[in-house]
Amino acid sequence: MLENKTLLITGGTGSFGKSFTNYILKKYKKIKKLIIFSRDELKQFEMQKTLSKNDLKKIRFFLGDIRDKDRLNTAFKNVDYIVHAAALKRVDTAEYNPLEFIKTNILGSQNIVDACLNSNVKKVVALSTDKAAAPINLYGATKLCSDKLFSAANNIKGNKNISFSLVRYGNVLGSRGSILSTFVNQSKKGFINITDERMTRFNISMKDAVEMVDWVLKKSIGGEIFVPKLNSFRVIDFAKTLCPKCKIKKIGIRPGEKIHEEMITVSDSFNTFDLGKYYAIIGSNEPKKFKFYSKFKKMKLGKSLNSLDNKMLTKKELNKIINKNLYLIKN
C-alpha cells in the first residue's frame, strides 16, 4: 500500500507517532517518504537521534502547528496518506483551558480537513478516544466534534478521490502520561493515588493500537469509526498488581473524569457492525456504507460497549500486561 507513497503523521513526535514511525519503517521498506509533523523542535531533534541513517533518508521532519492552515497546506503537498494523532489530551487541563483545546482539537481538525481537500491526499485516518463517546468533559466534547468533522468531510469532498475515517480506543499502556507511567512514578515514593475504587478503564497495548491504524489505512472506505474489542480492568486492581506494598491514597474524582468509559453508546449500536477483531460505527444516513458492511453481523441492538459491562482482566493477566509494557516506560 505504501510502496512509493508518502505518509504524514501529525503529532508525530508523541508516543503513538514514534511507535507508528518505527512500525512503518520496519514493515514498508519501499515507502517513498515519511513526514513527521509536530510543533516541538526539541522532540523532533530527540527523535532524530533514535533513528538510523538509512531511516533518516526517508524521513522529513516538518515543524508546524495544526492551528496554522497555511502551514498545513504546505506540508500536505504531494502527500498520499495522513494519520492525524496531534491533539491536546489532558482531561483536567481541558476543564481549565477550554478554548485552547477547542483551537487545537476542533479548529485544528477542520484545518486538516480543509488542507486535505486542497491537496491530493487519498486517505486520512484520525485518532479518536473513548472519551468522545457520550462525553462529560471538555476534552471528550472537543474530540466528539473532531470526529464529526472528519466523518462529515466525506460528504463535501465532491469528486475528489479521498476518504476520512476514525479510530477510537481507550488507554494505551506505555504511552506518555498513561496510567502505567503515572503509577510507576508514584510507586517510587511508596504510594499510588486512586480517584475512586469503582473506576474501570479499557486496555490496549501500543502494538495493537499501531497495528489497528495500519489495518484501517488499508481497509477503510470513509466515514467509519473503528473500535477495537478490548478488555477492561479495575484501576484499583491495576495499582495493587503494579505495587502490592504501596499505600493506596484515595484523592477523589478529578474534574471531568468518568467512573467508567464508553466506546460505543446504545444509540451507536444501531449503526454498528461486528468485523471480528473490530467494530465499525457507520453514520445512520449513509445507505451505501450500510450496503457495503451488510455482509457483517450487526452489533446487538441497544447494547453499549463500556468498561464496566465488559470482560475484566484478572490480576494475573494484569501482571503479565504490566511486565510486558514496563520497557516502554524505561525507553
Query: Which positions are catalytic?
Result: 131
Cα(194)–Cα(192) distance, integer angstroms = 6
Cα(40)–Cα(286) distance, integer angstroms = 39
Going by the DSSP 8-state scheme, the letter that residue 276 receives in this structure is S
Q: Residue 6, SS3?
A: strand
The candidate with the shortest Cα–Cα distance to 272, out of 300, 230, 306, is 300
Burial 174-211 (b: 16+ CB within 10 A, else e): bbeebbbbebbebbeeeebebebeebbbbbbbbbbbbb
Name the residue with cell 509533523. 37
Q: Where are the alpha helices (DSSP H) in the chain?
A: 15-27, 41-49, 53-56, 69-75, 91-96, 98-101, 108-117, 138-152, 179-187, 206-219, 235-242, 266-269, 287-293, 315-330
Tell me if 108 sits within 8 A of 126, measured CB to CB.
no
